Amino acid sequence: MAWLVAGLGNPGDRYARTRHNLGAMVADELARVAGERFRKARFVPVEVAELTIDGERVWLARSLRYMNESGPSYASTAKKHDIAPDHLIAVHDEIDLPFGTLRIKIGGGTAGHNGLKDISARLGSHDYWRLRLGIGHPGDKNAVTDYVLQKPLPEERELIDAAIFRGIEALPLCLSGDMQGAMQALHRGAEPKPAPERKE
């Protein structure tokens, strides 16, 4: 069975490099490293790229709708390619994790994340994987919206880049079904690594 990797984020240049778009940034980098480009899907507000990672067929997707209404994009893509919820990995930012921390889990609540809420509603299931990239909490719940829609501070950039590359490194383990190995790799908190070379 193929996999669907959904890089959550808001569309448009205004949001492209904000904290809330870390999921989309992982998807962008994964496509870049693989030498693939996103293409607009027919009849569905989503861009997709088809990859092969360690022999596994992967559909990489970015919704063209805003985060809180992106569920139909990913649910329709999963249905089109006959992908079950347990073969969907939603990659997203997580304010309840320290900046640069990565975690992976299946199912559970959405912790108020609007993108996950809509995906769960449209899939009719919470039982999909989540690759969570920590962006920290501003310390005041009333400041969360502004905080996630801001671009990271300069000192946060290295942590973000390292988190993106670690997420990409863990994906082959996820796709092979070795979720325990992926969890161990991410939870160890590996040291930042250099960016992968561009595939020509």
20 is catalytic: yes
Q: What is the pLDDT of residues 16-53, one digit of tens each?
A: 999 999 999 999 999 999 999 999 999 999 999 999 98
- Of 74-88, 121-135, 146-160, minimum mean pLDDT range: 146-160
Q: Is the dihedral of CA 121, 125, 131, 137 positive or negative?
A: positive
- 194, two tokens: 């250099």
Residue 189 pLDDT level (bands cut at 50, 70, 90): low
pLDDT for res 174: 87
Which pLDDT belongs to residue 91?
96
* C-alpha to C-alpha distances, 175 to 29, 39, 103, 160, 164, nearest whole angstrom: 17, 22, 16, 23, 17
What's the CA dihedral at 161, 133, 89, 116 to 10 degrees?
-130
Q: Is 72 exposed, middle or buried (0-12, 13-18, 19+ CB in 10 A)?
A: middle
Which residue of the set 20, 87, 92, 113 is catalytic? 20
Tokens (6 digits) for 8 = 């959550």
Tell me the two tokens of residue 73.
Answer: 């994009």
Q: Which residue has the tokens 């193929």?
A: 2
Q: Please state, for a pLDDT cut of 90, what percent of the chain lies above it.
A: 70
Going along the chain from its start, the domains and CATH numbers come out as 3-187 (3.40.50.1470)
Please tell me the predicted confidence (pLDDT) of residue 198.
Answer: 35
Strand 56-63 with 46-53, pairing: antiparallel
- The backbone torsions φ and ψ at residue 93, rounded to the nearest 5 degrees and listed phi first, read -75, 155
Contact 20, 116 (CB under 8 A): no
Q: Are strands 102-106 and 39-40 parallel, antiparallel or unpaired?
A: unpaired
Q: How confident is the model at residue 188 (pLDDT cuts 50, 70, 90)?
A: low
Q: For residue range 114-146, list pLDDT tens digits in order.
A: 999 999 999 999 999 999 999 999 999 999 999
Q: What is the pTM of this model?
A: 0.90
